[in-house]
Amino acid sequence: MVTSTHETSHRIFQDHPEVLAPVFEALGLPPPVKAAIEAITPDATEIKPLERRVDTVLKIEPSDGDGFLLAIEAQTRKAPDKGVNWAYYVSYLQAKFNLPVLLVAVCRNRSTAAWAAGPFECRVGPWKTQVTQPFVLGPDTVARITDESEVARQPALATLSVIVHSESRDIAVILELLALGMRSFDKATAKYWSELVEIGLEDTPARETWRELEKMVITYFPGRGTVFEEAYLDGEAKGEAKGRAEGVLRVLEVRGIPVSDDLRERITACTDLARLDDLLGRAVTVERAQELFGDEDGETPDPE
């Protein structure tokens, strides 16, 4: 069944071919920015009613070297018929376009990635007629996000990284760094990438983690009237300051940082919107809640 997660895992290559960097690096070719890349029909239907369709097919014309096709398949789990289907895709596309074909499988867990690497063989006894061996983009071939500045430099690759590592044990840390990196984006850019990440994580537990962090990303642009901001600040009718204070406390809660009753009262009593915005920014980086106000023990003067 085609899902939003499945679609995001391969369509990102159509709109953002820079995420092909790991593939080009493995092939020893110039990076995608130096190649002409064109999405072509993924239809591999030959005789109806049998219909076959590759997820995404890209025609690559490097600045230095011969052209080829990339057939990209998003694979979330093992499938017994995929070896035969993939062999058909490669043979059909090569015959149709008279170009060599590289099959790329995008996987988000190691067991599926190991299986997808093949080889898938068509053999009779010791004789191999055809061997299909995909190139796999998965947890071992796509680097984790380790620095929030990477997100600003390469948002598409960062999004792909989140998708393929979505079932990793440290996905919460990866998502937190992604959210921190998105704070440098303007409102429209942050909305675009945050929604793409949420769609890509649709059927994974990591999606709920991201939905909380996503609110933090969007509310970093206070007073802009976005749908995300309105949904997050559902207490806006009781005062904008109260809504922002709740935002600060929610970020600390998502990060697992305990807040004392005294400090909670100080945050909720603050009515300075600029100060609350500053606290929201600090909430995503502090190690202890007391550090929000630069205090060591949390005992502070009355709020503004």
Task: Give me the half-sphere count of Cα atoms (radius 13 Å) on the Cβ side of residue 254.
Answer: 25
**In 3D, which of 19, 32, 6, 17 has the Cα closest to residue 108?**
6
Q: What is the pLDDT of residues 20-69, one digit of tens each?
A: 777 777 777 766 665 666 665 656 555 444 456 778 888 888 777 788 89
**Which contiguous run of DSSP H or E holds residue 124?**
strand 120-124
Same-domain pairing of 192 and 281: yes
Q: How high is the pLDDT of residue 161? A: 87
Q: What is the pLDDT of residues 250-280, one digit of tens each?
A: 888 877 888 888 888 888 888 777 788 788 8
Number of domains in the chain: 2
Residue 303 forms part of a structural domain: no
Residue 1 pLDDT class (50, 70, 90 cuts): very low
Same-domain pairing of 104 and 208: no
Same-domain pairing of 100 and 200: no
Same-domain pairing of 184 and 227: yes
Please state, in angstroms and rounded to a whole number, the distance separating the CA atoms of residues 69 and 106. 16
Same-domain pairing of 118 and 153: no
Same-domain pairing of 177 and 214: yes
Please state, in angstroms and rounded to a whole number, the distance separating the CA atoms of residues 241 and 272. 7
Last residue of a domain, one of 137, 162, 195: 137
Could you tell me the residue range of the domain that residue 61 belongs to? 4-137
**Letter for the amino acid at 149?**
S
Please state, in angstroms and rounded to a whole number, the distance separating the CA atoms of residues 155 and 139. 18
Same-domain pairing of 221 and 115: no
Q: What is the number of residues in the chain? A: 304
Residue 16 forms part of a structural domain: yes
Q: Which residues contact 268 (CB under 8 A, 6 or more apart)?
A: 242, 245, 246, 249
**Which contiguous run of DSSP H or E holds residue 134?**
none
Same-domain pairing of 159 and 91: no
The pTM of the full predicted model, rounded to 2 decimals, is: 0.56
Residue 299 forms part of a structural domain: no
